[in-house]
Chain A
Amino acid sequence: MSNIEFYSAEGLRMDGRRWNELRRFECRTNTHPSSSDGSSYVEQGNSKVICLVNGPMEPENRSQLSTQKATLEVNLNIASFSTTERKKRLKSEKRTQELITTLERTFEQAIVTKIYPRTLISINIHVLSQDGGLLASCTNAVTLALIDAGIAMYDYISAVSAGLFDTTPLLDLNALEENVMSTLTVGIVGKSEKLALLLLEDKVPLDRLESILAISIAGSHRIRDIMDKEVRRHGKVRLSKSSS
């Protein structure tokens, strides 16, 4: 829609943020203590994602096993009411499959799988509402849920999306912005600048790629800090409960 100024001449986006500002990021861990080994709930802007992790556990069919390392299984359930217009999704939809594969590949590298051979780690993601940055929110939710489940990971994987509007890079796109510009989703390992996840949708001129990567890395670090704060806070609460 040309009716919206996505990035006005005064430097403000359609929702009032500047080019390098994250949306409201809130997260909780251990939201489903009785139904899973590890759980989390992430809200990035208006995107809401619940993640439930079970494992390491005995898988249902032996054929799934790997004798060297743990097997990861990701189930992504995007609710039909998650978008503004209700849309019934099939589990076999290509986009869903692509996201699942991306998440599996990312976390296979992030989890210390070799210390859980012959087991299955099952990750169930429920997307209740999406407003842009779906892959990023899911990645963050999975990271937190895995930590809550006590599954060993090398480091946090924090993710954020970014895009290019004309020549200006914009951080953390919402759904309307994603519709009109190319989106880059980036998953960063801890405080470093190593990429665990990199997905580009649509085209971006090569010379602009670096500027988008730069803000996404900075954004991911900020998200990692917020997630870490929550994990530590929750840890303190658990500790105080168990000690008393």
Chain B
Amino acid sequence: MVAQVERKRLTAGLTVTQKVFVRSRNGGATKIVREHYLRDDIPCLSKLCNLCPSIMKPDAKGEFQKFTLSDTPLKLANGGHHYLVLDTNIVLHAIDLVENVHGFFDVLVPQTVLEEVRNRSVPIYTRLRALCKSDDKRFVVFHNEFSEDTYVAREANESINDRNDRAIRRTCSWFQKHLNDNSPQLSVNIIFLCNDNDNRAKAITEGIDARTLAEYVEALPNADELRDLVPTDSSELQRVNEIAYPEYYSTARLMGGIKNGTLYQGIVNISSYNFLEGAVNVPSFKKPLLLLGRERLNRAFNGDSVVVELLPKSQWREPSSQIIEESAVEANDTPEDEEELKISDQERRLLAQDAMVSHKTQPTDEVASRIQPTAKVVGIIRRSWRFYVGQIAPTSVSENSGSAPSNCFVILMDKCLPKIRIRTRKAPELLGKRIVVAIDSWPSTSKFPEGHFVRSLGDVESAEAETEALLLEHDVEYRPFSKNVLDCLPSEGHDWKVPTDLDGDEFIKKRKDLRAKLVCSIDPPNCQDIDDALHAQLLPNGNYEVGVHIADVTHFVKAGTALDAEGASRGTSVYLVDKRIDMLPMLLGTDLCSLNPYVERFAFSVIWELDSDANIVKVDFMKSIIKSREAFSYEKAQLRIDDESNQDDLTKGMRILLQLSRKLKQKRLDAGALNLASPEVKVHMDSETSDPAEVEIKKQLATNSLVEEFMLLANISVARKNFDAFPQTAMLRRHANPPATNFENLNDMLRVRKGMAVSLESSKALADSLDRCEDPADPYFNTLLRIMATRCMMAAEYFSSGSYGYPEFRHYGLAVDIYTHFTSPIRRYCDVVAHRQLAAAIGYEPLDLSHRDKGKMETVCKNINRRHRNAQFAGRASIEYYVGQVMKNNESTQLGYAIRVFSNGIVVLVPKFGIEGLIKLESLGDINSARFDEENYSLTFTDHTGAERTIAVFDQVEVDIKSVLDEVTSKRKAELFLK
């Protein structure tokens, strides 16, 4: 029996009914009852309509909605003037096509579709909402669920999906009738796009013009452009017998398994050396669980959030000591063909206990100790799919495909990912170009994921294509700032000056006038965005006054503006070799905020009184106005200090800074700060051709250290102040202690090959033990060790102070108990937030509520951590590319060190250029002659001259560096060859 939910009429235009449903979450069942109001004043938003402008109601600000749907919509030969209605699945699968600037205008989005999209994919929902804001696309949302005329109640035994389909069809019919009745001057049709055959058939019987996406695109005047972007319809695919991946478990089973501890959830990491091996980090286990082989990986991508199940003990293996790349693997080579054993939950629990035990114990049998528990993927929680850059595999394109759409493979730039199969007509012309593709699906019968072409970036190896590819791959936003964002900048633009009347504005009144201080800045040569400046002077009581002044970015970037939103989204400036992608518009970065010399600028200052041993006597924070006297490069500053003839106050101040900075550094090292080395390189561009000319390692001068020390001190002081004022939401930075397991491998290699060890008891112990590891025969060994130690470290991360307890605030590498980033707001968003919080802490201005909300702060931190990581990778990739280009003309022989040894290759680091490369066994010598000694981390083989050689970790080797263009990925790299 169906209970009739009645509607009550409240006023002439408003009726209320109830929505009753069962919410089934986490195994529970709750009866939910919600009110649902139906109204008659929802406008259709078409410029042609005569009726709707009179029935509209204003919003809280008194504004009315804009009528967007065009009065001259696109006219099709077989459809006339029309507005589009898109079905949910079309939006979900073909969002790229829908967003395309050359098609899909005047689209009506029913609320039903909007809500279904939101429930299935929040990112696509965000993109759909963004389309609604765009003036060119003219997308409108029609709330059909709240409109009396288009609301449909669920019928007995009707599923939710059927009811939603009916609601959408009803909306189409009503809209058509509404337009016919109320827009006499032009006859407009509604075209409903739907790929579901049933729904389409029903729509046609109801008199709606319903078509598939492909049919519609064909009918468009610019069909040729858009045809290829139509995603493959998975229902059309018939790849029977290609392969049979195991089906994923049902959601109920996955949730049940995770809850009772028999299944585990984690993120997949595919090894960069072996694309068929993955690992999942699960909190219950000390070491990651291995996923070996195609079938066990079961279509998981690097970065996906997956659910795994432990395999029976008989199938546990060692981690692969092989290097395997996708391109090399042609045939089906699933490693094991063992039978799928049926085991119960009870057995799974026992298996898990075994696994945990095996992670902990140190069995005497060396071989057994290597065996680690393995698992298989049984479900994917969230895909990490995004746009990918790659190029068409030449072997997959046949010459005479003509203009018929054909299947071909796209090999992605990211080596951890498989080939993608796409259908395109333009395959021959796309050869040799970098292209962007998106993935649609990976059915269990398909050996490769199915995707579609999005756009082309240009020729492989061309600088523009490579740079764009790099930025896309690392998810860096590089498009120019939108009009909305630029409108937030001061209207005077470059003519903006510090106002002469300092008492005019209530905020400017609060600033301190520090223009008399002898401030100067020290930065890399040709630096245009000067974040920081310093000054120092002797105080009458014998102590020193030291000031650090940071560009006052938050004066121009106010919370809640489009400018702020864009900065928060970008998170950081990205530094490529030849390009800088700014977080904030250049007007701010290089002019208004930049503490350029000889001009007055707003700053945020930290003033300490330090004694002669660099202890903090007191600290003060203030918004200020400064006037930098000089902008030095590191070299020039060093020269100025060293020249004894300079006795002016500014130089004296710089000498004070240098002396104090030395004391600060010593104090830090005594406390256990780590001095690790990473091979940072600088690529010199030839000024004429802007081609890379030379590569060199960056050198450290005393003045580098000077600035660094005071920046650290400022960051620490601000961190303390912000945490004190906002204990739950202060923006801070932490560096977790490295877990002992990370160092196990390194320590073992050290012990076996050099008879040394590093201690992990504390950062001081680590620093001291690193100092002791000297090889008298090789002075570089210590640096090499430090580089390898850096890789064992955890990454530092931004966090909100409410997320952790005070002991976890520790920054291991700097050996301080609390830290933040404050000194570079021009290029880091964390600093912008820290500035705002500090401004509120000193009472300068109230803090925006979003920086006091724990949840919002955690979201911001997650984003900036991700962007920071991506920026680092992008920077390194850019260097790698340019080093490859430099090597094109400068092949040479260099000294290198083996840092990893596999059974079929070695990895060598070349200190001079800071590059590392894999040398495979094939290029070392005779592959059959190889003997891999795992215990001693050495590989013995017969090289091409017939001599027998043994190479072990830490050994010095000589290598030839050549620039090689990889055939398959078209990536140019510096490749190493053993001499």
Contacts and interface: CB of A to CB of B under 8 A. Distances in A.
Nearest to A13: B37
B36 interface: yes
B38 interface: yes
Interface in A1-56: 2-3, 8-12, 15-21, 23-24, 45-46
B141 A84 contact: no
A19 B30 CA distance: 29
Contact of B14 (A9, A20, A21): A21
Contact of A10 (B36, B65, B122): B65
Contact of B35 (A8, A11, A12, A24): A24
Given A10-B143, A24-B8, A84-B30, A205 B35 contact: no
Contacts of B483: none
Nearest to B143: A12
B541 interface: no
B145 interface: yes
Given A8-B141, A84-B32, A16 B39 contact: yes
B35 A15 contact: yes
Given A3-B119, A16-B145, A11 B65 contact: yes
Given A2-B122, A3-B118, A84-B30, A10 B141 contact: yes
A169 B145 CA distance: 23
Contacts of A211: 60
Nearest to A14: B34
Nearest to A20: B60
Contacts of A84: 30-32
Nearest to A22: B10
A17 B37 contact: yes
Nearest to A12: B143
A60 interface: no
A46 B141 CA distance: 28
Contacts of A113: none
Contact of A205 (B16, B61, B849): B849
Contacts, number: 65
Interface residues of A, number: 27
29 contacts: A3-B119, A9-B129, A10-B42, A10-B143, A11-B59, A11-B60, A11-B65, A12-B143, A12-B146, A16-B37, A16-B143, A16-B146, A17-B37, A18-B57, A18-B59, A21-B14, A21-B37, A23-B35, A24-B8, A24-B16, A45-B35, A46-B33, A46-B34, A46-B35, A84-B30, A84-B31, A169-B60, A174-B34, A205-B849
Interface in A154-177: 168-169, 174
A20 B141 CA distance: 21
B32 to A, nearest CB: 6
Q: Which of A11, A20, A84, A174 has the most CB of B within 10 A?
A: A11
Interface in B1-42: 8, 10, 14, 16, 18, 30-39, 42
Given A15-B37, A20-B60, 7 more contacts: A16-B38, A18-B59, A21-B37, A46-B18, A169-B60, A174-B35, A203-B849
A98 interface: no
A231 to B, nearest CB: 20
Nearest to B56: A11
A42 B35 CA distance: 16
Interface string B111-131: 000000011001000000100
A104 B30 CA distance: 35
5 closest cross-chain pairs (CB), A and B = A16-B37, A16-B146, A11-B59, A168-B60, A19-B60
Highest count of chain B CB atoms <10 Å: which of A16, A18, A20, A21: A16
B118 A9 contact: no
Nearest to B125: A3
Contacts of B145: 16
B726 to A, nearest CB: 14
B143 A8 contact: yes
A69 B978 CA distance: 102
Contacts of A2: 122
Nearest to A85: B30
A205 B33 CA distance: 32
Contacts of A85: 30
A10 B30 CA distance: 31
B132 interface: yes
Contacts of B31: 84
B611 to A, nearest CB: 42
Contacts of B37: 15-17, 21
A168 B59 contact: yes
Interface residues of B, number: 32
Contacts of A21: 14, 37
A180 B59 CA distance: 21
Contacts of A19: 59-60
A174 B30 CA distance: 18
Contacts of A15: 34-37
A219 to B, nearest CB: 14
Contacts of A17: 37
Contacts of A12: 42, 143, 146
Nearest to B133: A9
A9 B32 contact: no
B560 to A, nearest CB: 9
Interface string B312-353: 000000000000000000000000000000000000000000
A235 to B, nearest CB: 24
Nearest to B122: A2
Given A24-B8, A24-B16, A84-B30, A16 B36 contact: yes
Contacts of B122: 2-3
B63 to A, nearest CB: 9
Interface in A84-98: 84-85
Contacts of A18: 57, 59
Contacts of A45: 35
A169 B119 CA distance: 26
A218 to B, nearest CB: 13
Contacts of B8: 24
Contacts of B141: 8-10
Contacts of B118: 3
B489 to A, nearest CB: 22
B132 A9 contact: yes
A127 to B, nearest CB: 16
Contacts of A46: 18, 33-35
Nearest to A169: B60
Interface in B117-163: 118-119, 122, 129, 132-133, 141, 143, 145-146
B497 to A, nearest CB: 30
Contacts of A3: 118-119, 122
A24 B35 CA distance: 9
Contacts of B38: 16
B57 A11 contact: yes
A85 B26 CA distance: 14
Nearest to B142: A10
A107 B133 CA distance: 49
A22 to B, nearest CB: 9
Nearest to B119: A3
Interface centre among B36, B37, B61, B129 (most CB of A within 10 A): B37
B264 to A, nearest CB: 26
A84 B34 CA distance: 11
Nearest to B16: A24
Interface in B69-98: none
Nearest to A18: B57
A24 B133 CA distance: 33
A24 B60 contact: no
B559 to A, nearest CB: 12
Contacts of B18: 46
Interface string B654-692: 000000000000000000000000000000000000000
Nearest to B17: A16
A46 B57 CA distance: 26
A169 B62 CA distance: 12
Contacts of A169: 60
Contacts of A8: 141, 143
Contacts of A203: 849
Interface string A169-207: 100001000000000000000000000000000010100
